[in-house]
Structure 1
Amino acid sequence: MQKAIKKYWPVFVLPTLAAFIIGFIWPFLWGIYLSFCQFTTVQDVTFVGLSNYAKIWIDDTFTHAFFFTAAFTVVSVVLINAFGFGLALLLTRKLRGTNIFRTVFFMPNLIGGIVLGYIWKTLLDGVLTLLSKPLLSLDATYGFWGLIILMCWQQIGYMMIIYIAGLQNVPLDLIEAARIDGASNGQILFRVKIPMVMPSFTICLFLTLTNSFKLFDQNLSLTAGEPAKASQMLALNIYDTFYARSGAQWKGIGQAKAVVFFLLVVVIALVQLRFTRSKEVQQ
């Protein structure tokens, strides 16, 4: 069997590798090249150098979308992980019906983002109307908190499952030894459980950080960037630049924004991974 695998492994690897190169690597590299060009179609391309990148920072909508996305990411990452870990602590105790609660909290993650956006838009606009407040699409502040509520509702249950898996892997011997030494519940939580669950924090922070920065469909369906692009996040801003604005120059600028967006997400994710992994404790 081992000899056969070593001999014929290219037969199994090459189809997947070819599909990966055609479907991901080549479009990615071609997209980077197009960010240095002015074009309307991929057959009508004019190289313009770094001018597309220079025009990004002149576009006020991009800088506003960046700060809006950064603020949204900070708030959503903190709330999702705080509530997810808190629910995991509650549901790892010996309580009746914990499996039912785990299923209920996880279910929102199964619903598509675009559908969630329209559902929450209807719900939140109805509540705001009853309170005589502006609708989500008429006030960027309400749009911001509407996105936070939607993201938390969708992601908390998923992160809770990851935290539960981490908490269940904490050795009971450590907890019992801490109790024998006179540690309180708070000391056990911060000195034993959290350090031992740091791999779960690494995964959850990475997922929530990247998902928040890349949020698109929920932003499109909930606020569509209104009013006047004030609630527009980076992904929606790139989409709007590429498709909604007329003129060949805007497609190149939109492609340059996409490359900058990619680099931002990669750098932030790598910094987060390096920081949280340095805090992990070897079992």
Structure 2
Amino acid sequence: MTGIEFFAGWLNTPETGFWGLIILFVWQMSGYMMLIYISFLNNIPEEILEAADMDGANPLQVFFRIKLPMLMPAFTVTLFLTLSNAFKIYDQNLALTQGGPFNSTQMVAMNIYNEAFGMRKMGYAQAKAVIFLVIIVIISVVQISLTRKKEVSA
């Protein structure tokens, strides 16, 4: 059995197909998120790290008391991008599983598309899309407001 048959069979079961989509999404977003975190880590002022070293802070204290609070804007950005993109996943869903088997891996965006263009229920699909938009906006606003409270500046 080659790797292709293993993964094809893995994506065709209702129990594991959803997890295949999650693994793909995490893999797809991880490089982009790492780039954001590295850029924020590089922008931590060297003077603050030197001052912590002179005060006798160990590496664990430096991480939890200096670097992690300074990385909170990066957490805000990456969490927002990840959540908004996770809700809007369509092309990966179409390419890997096409929503099957038995619509068990059909994400919301694909469901709305199939409702509108597959079943020709444009009004119903539009209502679903508006509700979907409202849910995404509410989740995004709550997430941004919660993570912004923990941000600090240099």
In structure 2, the partner of 1:126 is 5
Pick closer, same or farther for the CA change 1:124–1:269 going to 2, 3 Å. farther
**How far 1:180 moved relative to its partner?**
2.3
In structure 1, the partner of 2:58 is 184
Distance 1:208 1:231 in 2: 19
Distance 1:206 1:128 in 2: 30
What root-mean-square deviation, in Å, do the aligned CA atoms of Structure 1 and Structure 2 show?
1.7
Percent of residue pairs bearing the same amino acid type: 49
> 1:194-253: per-residue Cα shift (whole Å, max 9, x none)?
11111111111110110001111111111111111111111001011111115xxx2211
For the residue of structure 1 that corresponds to 2:44, the secondary structure is coil
One-letter amino acid of the structure 2 residue matched with residue 127 of structure 1: F
Distance 1:257 1:207 in 2: 22
Distance 1:261 1:128 in 2: 31
In structure 1, the partner of 2:109 is 235
Distance 1:240 1:207 in 2: 25
Unpaired runs of 5+ residues, structure 2, are none
Superposition map of 1:62-211 within 5 A:
125-128=4-7, 134-137=9-12, 139-211=13-85
Distance 1:128 1:217 in 2: 18
- Whether the 8 Å CA contact 1:125–1:136 is kept in 2: the answer is no
- Whether the 8 Å CA contact 2:18–2:104 is kept in 1: the answer is no
Taking structure 1 as the reference length, the TM-score comes to 0.51
**How far 1:186 moved relative to its partner?**
1.7
For the residue of structure 2 that corresponds to 1:257, the secondary structure is helix
- Whether the 8 Å CA contact 1:241–1:254 is kept in 2: the answer is yes
Q: 1:272 aligns with which of 136, 143, 153?
A: 143
Taking structure 2 as the reference length, the TM-score comes to 0.91
**How far 1:277 moved relative to its partner?**
0.9
**How far 1:182 moved relative to its partner?**
2.4
Distance 1:185 1:144 in 2: 39
- Whether the 8 Å CA contact 2:112–2:125 is kept in 1: the answer is yes
Does 2:114 match 1:254? no
Divergent runs of 4+, >3 A: none
- When the two structures are aligned, how many residues end up with a matched partner? 153
For the residue of structure 2 that corresponds to 1:206, the secondary structure is helix
**How far 1:144 moved relative to its partner?**
1.5
- Whether the 8 Å CA contact 1:206–1:272 is kept in 2: the answer is yes
Distance 1:239 1:168 in 2: 42
One-letter amino acid of the structure 1 residue matched with residue 132 of structure 2: F
Unpaired runs of 5+ residues, structure 1, are 1-122
